[in-house]
A and B are shown apart, each in its own frame.
Chain A
Amino acid sequence: MKQSERIAGNVASYIDDRTGAAGWAKKNLTKVFPDHWSFMLGEIALYSFVILLLSGTFLTFWFDPSQQEVVYNGAYAPLSHVSMSASYASTLHISFDVRGGLLMRQIHHWAALIFMAAIVVHLLRVFFTGAFRKPREANWLIGIGLLTLGIVEGFLGYSLPDDLLSGTGIRIAEAIIQAIPVVGSYLSFFAFGGAFPGHVFIPRIYIVHVLLLPGIFLALITVHLMLVWYQKHTQYPGPGRKETNVVGYPLMPVYMAKAGGFFFIVFGVTAFLGAVASINPIWLYGPYTPGQISAGSQPDWYMGWLDGLVRMAPPLETHAFGHTISWNILIPGLIIPGILFTGMALYPFIESWISGDNREHHLLDRPRNVPNRTALGAMSLSFMIISLANGGNDIIATHFHLTINGIMWFTRFGLFIVPPIVFIITKRICLSLQRADREIVLHGRETGRLVMTPEGEFIEVHEELSAEKKWTLTQHEQRPALTATAVDSNGTSSRAGLKGKLRARMSAANAEQIPAPTSAELQELEGGHH
């Protein structure tokens, strides 16, 4: 036995003597993970989180979260002798006097943008492939929680430097708090320790940003990953892939090397962005004062849709009985986001209620095979994209020589008109793709080879698909719609209630499918050919 093996053996037995972990470890080191590029999206989010913890810790060594006024006398000459808050001054110090400080700030900010982008794209992947279905509803809810907290955490993070841009963002947040009926003014005064901007808000959000929320993140991410581990990863349909198995590579060594390597790749790319791509150059904005602002004020992208909704809101306020309700703030700032996020959270439960499907699902859907869900996702996405576009309406206007007013009116109407159109088009595309699948299974792949028959007729040779391909295109289940009476399992009344009718109608819409081809159909066709 080699010496290294003996040492490894000794370490293993030391640990197992005290924990009995050998059996567990043996099983889990060979745990199988399916391989697909889209499964790396969640990984990017996870790795960005680690990068955020590392780079963020570095920044805390110099950042001073205080709104005490100081006079700047650091390396950045244009702001010499200017009065500013200690948090702005220390951010300048990190950017200009700490070696590698600007790099770490930019890595931190880029990592935050990538973190949010990865979460959103991961969520879309999970949604469109139906990975949220039983038994993974809890992980879907945790994911929505992480997305929501991520938006808040990002906002608090870029608010910390107390520059003119981020201070304006805090001002807007304060206006949203103040708009809450009955208790708004009180909440605002409690949050800000008095009138805006006060001296306590940045120290307070600092501790939330570096301790409270990261702690909650860590807990939620841990549970999220433990559930993935315990429930085993979903997999795409294909030959040999069943609801009852997992096909892929073992954790050790392949998955460890790939996933571990991918962490370094994500970190490397983020570091490169931090090195060459300037982000949030706060020294150009100047320190915050409520009396000033810069043109083109923009939040980070994951807040942009919210800002876009606020921008397009109609000027509605109710003044009655000596009180004011600002619908122009409440509707876009709280009510619509509330509806969107609640709907998103409840979606797995709504879908299973409509389908009456209460079974476990481990094989993913191809989006085309679930036209209604895919169309709903595309529709929601178009809603968000229109809102986001309006969040940058001033930038779009100056870049493309359009008027802000024109863009605003376009998005005001577009928000209601475009999503239903997107729904219809997406559904039609899905059904067309199903038709194309059916066609290619029954008639084979077009080879582009033309052959002349003895009769002088030209035909194109079609090549029959491989058994693997045929299986991949036809394996999905097509459930018939529930009928209104079948829905009402109550037994006491034969008539379906309103709820039952609604469910039956939605179930029928979900069941609209192009029938998947069967081997019998193929045989029949082939019989005809010969």
Chain B
Amino acid sequence: MSNSISRFEDPGLPEHQHRKSDIDAIAANRAERQVAVLFLLSAIGTIGTIASYIFIDSKKFIYLPILGDTNAQQLALGTGLAASLFFIGIAAVHWAKTLMPDEEVIAERHEFRSSDEDRADFVTTVKERAGAAGLGRRSLIKRSMGIALGLIGLSPLVLLRDLGPLPKQQLFTTDWSAGVRLVTDPGDRPIKPSDLEVGAVAQVLPQLPAGTERTLENVGKDAVLLIRIRPEDFNLDAERLSWTHDGIIAFSKICSHMGCAVALYEQQTKHLLCPCHQSTFDVTRAAKVIFGPAARPLPQLALTLDADGYLVAKQGFTEPVGPSFWERNSA
């Protein structure tokens, strides 16, 4: 193409323009003073930082517009530190821009590729050295070395085995079982149906056997939401309806999607919403997923009353709670 023949020509580096401080001694001296002032501002910043460390009460809060209540010492330390750092930077850059040479320099670049001769020599050397080791000829060594090196990675894997126990049945089970009382969280008090008004919602946990300490692992699978609505608002099949008690229904609070606590209950629509990924569950239809990424309803806990009139679980959960996992075997 004619393109390559009649291209515009590279005019080369434009002529260097002198700065004022290059030709005017007064301007240069002014620039020097400016740099000095900037360095001194940094020094003042450091002194301010040290002074505020010593003299400002570390518990004192002050009110500032926009920032609100702020710890006075943290603020003073921070702004002092910021000033001491920032002005060093500005001083150095100003120095470079006004007083250091600003003439652009051209350095040549060379192609990285070595000469053909060197490259050929390199290949020959590698072949020759490898040949000297007998890598090509002694296949017994080559193969056995392959086995040894291939296997050596297994030891660290085996050594990491004790990082944790095997899951066994832990993902399938909770502390709920037939007759276990629902207790408030916090407070550990058993609950009667009369404790819940229509429209109320409460977080409950299973009552653990006396002397058992409740751990976060327990809470992570046992947490249950107790919701009371008008019984006629339920839209459940006979079995699920029998799991409720007088408008009170219980679901696992651990989201069936990724395990967050499904904590937002909207009283009007009777929807439960997970704040993590917005999966929305319809309480009246056994926590059916009506929006969002969750693929399964929240497991429902069957309720009944014990002899003393307290709410208890009729049975444990009939499916694993929380997010899905490979071994999980129910839709």
Contacts and interface: CB of A to CB of B under 8 A. Distances in A.
A332 B257 CA distance: 13
Given A261-B92, A290-B261, A362 B293 contact: no
B10 A475 contact: yes
A317 B112 contact: no
Contacts of B105: 30, 32, 247-250
Nearest to A235: B109
A457 interface: no
Contact of A311 (B85, B221, B278): B278
A242 B254 CA distance: 62
B167 A185 contact: yes
Contact of A272 (B86, B92, B221, B261): B86
A93 to B, nearest CB: 13
B9 interface: yes
A316 B295 contact: yes
A343 interface: no
A286 B219 CA distance: 16
A7 interface: no
A519 B8 CA distance: 5
Interface stretch (A210-218, A291-299, A500-508): A291-299
Given A178-B323, A195-B217, A520-B2, A189 B167 contact: yes
Contacts of A90: none
A268 B78 CA distance: 9
B96 A253 contact: yes
B69 to A, nearest CB: 10
B286 interface: no
Interface in A493-530: 515-521
Contacts of A244: 108-110
Nearest to A232: B109
Interface in B4-34: 5-14
Most buried by A among B67, B161, B165, B220: B220
Contact of A262 (B75, B79, B93, B254): B93
Given A100-B74, A249-B105, A315-B292, A324 B83 contact: no
B260 A32 contact: no
B315 interface: no
A382 interface: no
A416 interface: no
B101 interface: yes
Nearest to B258: A175
A178 B328 CA distance: 11
B216 A290 contact: yes
B158 interface: no
B52 to A, nearest CB: 9
Contacts of B92: 257-258, 260-261, 264
B3 A239 contact: no
Contacts of B161: 190
B278 A265 contact: no
A413 to B, nearest CB: 15
A326 interface: yes
Given A292-B263, A393-B278, A268 B86 contact: yes
A22 to B, nearest CB: 19
B275 A295 contact: yes
Interface residues of A, number: 122
Contacts of B165: 189, 193-194
Contact of A175 (B67, B100, B259, B278): B259
B89 interface: yes
Contacts of A316: 295
Given A246-B109, A268-B89, A315-B295, A275 B82 contact: yes
A1 interface: no
Interface stretch (A123-131, A366-374, A428-436, A463-471): A463-471
A196 B170 CA distance: 10
Contacts of A289: 216, 219
Contacts of A284: none
Nearest to A277: B67
Interface in A225-247: 231-232, 239-240, 242-247
A31 interface: yes
B78 A315 contact: no
Contacts of A314: 293
Contacts of B106: 32, 240, 245-247
Interface residues of B, number: 102
A317 B295 contact: yes
Contact of A247 (B74, B104, B167, B260): B104
A315 B281 CA distance: 12
A269 B82 contact: yes
Contacts of B166: 186, 189
Interface string B242-283: 000000000001100111110110000000000111110000
B71 A362 contact: no
B295 A179 contact: no
Contact of B275 (A182, A253, A294): A294
Contact of A310 (B13, B219, B264, B277): B277
B291 interface: yes
Contacts of B10: 239-240, 242, 471, 475
Contacts of B322: 175
A274 interface: yes
Contacts of B9: 467, 471, 519
B177 interface: no
A36 interface: no
A114 B229 CA distance: 49
A312 B81 contact: no
B102 interface: yes
Given A240-B12, A257-B95, A293-B276, A310 B328 contact: no
A257 B93 contact: yes
Given A184-B325, A257-B93, A475-B10, A103 B107 contact: no
A467 to B, nearest CB: 4
Interface string A290-332: 1111111100000000010011111111010011111011001
A196 B259 contact: yes
A408 B273 CA distance: 14
A172 interface: yes
A292 B205 CA distance: 13
Contacts of A242: 10
A195 B105 CA distance: 63
B202 to A, nearest CB: 12
B88 A315 contact: no
A272 B86 CA distance: 9
A295 B261 CA distance: 10
13 contacts: A185-B167, A200-B164, A232-B107, A246-B107, A249-B101, A265-B86, A271-B81, A271-B86, A272-B78, A290-B223, A291-B223, A324-B326, A521-B6
Q: Which 7 A-B pairs have the closest CB atoms?
A: A275-B78, A268-B86, A261-B92, A264-B89, A240-B13, A265-B89, A290-B220
Given A171-B259, A247-B106, 10 more contacts: A135-B112, A168-B260, A244-B109, A244-B110, A254-B101, A295-B264, A310-B258, A394-B278, A474-B7, A516-B3
